[in-house]
Amino acid sequence: MNSKNSILLVDPAFDPNTTDACRLLIKLSADNFSYAIIDVASNQLKVLYDQQECENPSLDLADKLDSDEYLALSFQEVKASIFTLNTLLVPNDLYDSQQLTDYGKYFTVQQSNILHVQSDADYNLTSVFNLATFIEKKLTNKFSNCKFYNHISPLLALAKNTSDKTIFLDFTVGSVNAAYLENGNLIFQNYFEISNAEEFNYYLLFMVNQLNIEAAVASISVSGVIHEGDKIYQIIGKYFTSISFAIPVNQTLEKQITNDLPANYYSSLLAIDICE
């Protein structure tokens, strides 16, 4: 990380002239943003950028879109997961596409008038969401082929094929995206800003108590900025004995440029690759 809490990793063999055969993944959270460039044909991670502790991550991403030499390129496909408070998860058997505008009435933050819809057959859910107008326009003007996902999608992609009771926690330096699943069904999801380990402890116990989670039988899967033995990890270990690190779901992806980093650091960013 440099003085701006950012990191840039580039494959020395990466040829910018080949990005028309590459996929760009962008992840914007409430306090950070990151992107990855994947060569589709070779299934290799070519570029990875991450910037933590952003006071205004949308503005920081917009500046990066204007100045970054790699983001100035054209891509075969662009997939962006964007943090938004305006998200509804509707069971597929209750979702009515003819009533789409009615779902927007439940949104509490004034944002874009464009409603995005994505269906997830694995969870039998349809997500309806909208985005902040500024960053939505910035991305669509930059990449006409940009496909949007909400901030929950990468976490659910990491959680696919889970059969037991598991809490999934994806960390940035100042937040955690949390989901609880039982037998492959999403029971709970929320996004918490955490300024220290004690605040995280409060939210973890809140989930455990409100959802009646039995720590003795439930598992924890963590990803993002967390290390075995750090304060956050120690707090989890106070209540749970089964703790694992979520690794990128695309097991065949060649990601040599991240060999010096924990595999869980960018699991959720790379999980966007399998979001449909």
φ/ψ of 184, rounded to 5, equals: 80, 0
What average pLDDT does the segment 221-229 reach? 95
pLDDT over 70, % of the chain: 99
From the number of C-beta atoms within 10 Å of its C-beta (0-12, 13-18, 19+), residue 91 rates as exposed
The pLDDT, as a whole number, for residue 23 is 98
Strand boundaries in the chain, DSSP class E = 6-10, 22-28, 33-39, 44-51, 77-82, 87-91, 116-120, 125-129, 146-150, 166-171, 175-182, 185-193, 219-224, 243-245
The pLDDT, as a whole number, for residue 248 is 76
What average pLDDT does the segment 225-250 reach? 93
Above 60 in pLDDT, residue 78? Answer: yes
Q: What distance in Å separates the CA atoms of residue 182 and residue 52, rounded to the nearest whole number?
A: 31
What average pLDDT does the segment 51-62 reach? 96
Q: What is the pLDDT of residues 156-189, one digit of tens each?
A: 999 987 878 999 999 999 999 999 999 999 999 9
Q: What distance in Å separates the CA atoms of residue 233 and residue 228, rounded to the nearest whole number?
A: 6
What confidence category does residue 4 fall into, taking pLDDT thresholds of 50, 70 and 90?
Answer: low
Task: Answer whether 145's CB lies under 8 Å from 79's CB.
Answer: no
Strand order, beta sheet including 116-120: 87-91, 125-129, 116-120
Task: Provide the residue type at 160 as one letter.
Answer: K
| Structural domains of the chain ordered from first start | 155-245 (3.30.420.260)
Q: What is the pLDDT of residues 130-146, one digit of tens each?
A: 999 999 999 999 999 99
Above 70 in pLDDT, residue 117? Answer: yes
Q: Let me know the angle formed at the C-alpha of 145 by 21 and 54, rounded to the nearest 5 degrees.
A: 95
What confidence category does residue 3 fall into, taking pLDDT thresholds of 50, 70 and 90?
Answer: very low
- pTM of the complete model: 0.95
What average pLDDT does the segment 15-35 reach? 97
Q: What is the pLDDT of residues 263-272, one digit of tens each?
A: 899 999 999 9
Q: Which residues contact 268 (CB under 8 A, 6 or more apart)?
A: 27, 81, 154, 155, 158, 170, 177, 223, 224, 246
> Residue 186 gets which letter from DSSP?
E
Which of these, 10, 271, 260, lies nearest to 157 by C-alpha position?
271
Angle between helices 231-239 and 197-210 (to 10 degrees): 30
Pairing relation of β-strands 6-10 and 44-51?
antiparallel
Six-digit token string for 10: 């580039």
Six-digit token string for 151: 């901030």
The pLDDT, as a whole number, for residue 250 is 77
